[in-house]
Amino acid sequence: MNTIFNISAYQFVSLPDAPVLRDTLHRRALDWQLKGTILLAEEGINLFLAGPAKAVRGFIDQLRADPRFAGVQPKESWSATQPFKKMLVKVKPEIIRMNHPTIRPDVAGPEGRAPAVDATTLKRWLDQGHDDDGRPVVTLDTRNAFEVDHGSFEGAIDWRIDKFTEFPQALLDHKAELIDKTVVSFCTGGIRCEKAALFMREAGLPHVWQLEGGILKYFEEAGGAHYRGHCFVFDERRAVDTDLSVAPA
């Protein structure tokens, strides 16, 4: 029986008080008896939590009471067992490491983020083979090669990167192949494809989108259409199916 409620969420927002916030959130998560990982940086928050649904939702309600996190929108799934062993809250230089300091979604703000496409729109584009302007659509997997090997969108571009810091150079190497296409970057939960889309726009690609909420939100809203295999997740579940259940080993 699936009684463990799992969420992942992120938000790019300036957090100059990240070290102080670390202690507050760690104490609060322990009070709710949650397990998982929260990463904090000057550029924002990235979190993965699991526990009873009431506790997880209570934690998120408290988090949203801080106006900086009012817009946090978790991706949700269920499991029969707790996928984390402990509760960790860490402060990092970046919540997702890219090593490209001009890419700061928290500084750009909502007006500066790359355009996002929701799951149902992407499914429609893939169904029809082009975007609403008739332009060919390609999906670009921004994840590491071992994650892609678990599953991806049909025909997705995969540059076989071993870590996200390799993405900028890979994009520059292949930029000419994408110039006349609508490019939709995607990743597990949205955080990497958000930075990737900003970098592509900075590099001069004119028709760039990010998949809002990543693969997990796509599974929630569009099921498994145009996707093959599972989605790797960074906890003891290892991977989830398109219905967000734990994938068989």
Question: Is residue 188 packed enough to be buried (19+ CB in 10 Å), middle (13-18) or exposed (0-12)?
Answer: buried
CA neighbor of 77 nearest in space, from 241, 226, 228, 249:
241
Whole-number Å distance between alpha carbons of 198 and 115 = 9
**Which are the contacts of 2, defined by CB distance < 8 A and separation ≥ 6?**
78, 79, 80, 245
Tell me the β-bridge partners of 139: 184
C-alpha distances in angstroms, 232 versus 38, 109, 229?
18, 29, 10
Whether residue 231 lies in the annotated active site? no
**Which member of 40, 96, 187, 244 is catalytic?**
187
**Which are the contacts of 46, defined by CB distance < 8 A and separation ≥ 6?**
9, 10, 38, 39, 95, 96, 191
Handedness of CA 120, 124, 125, 127 (dihedral sign): positive
| Residue linked to tokens 């938000």 | 11
Point out the residues that are catalytic: 187
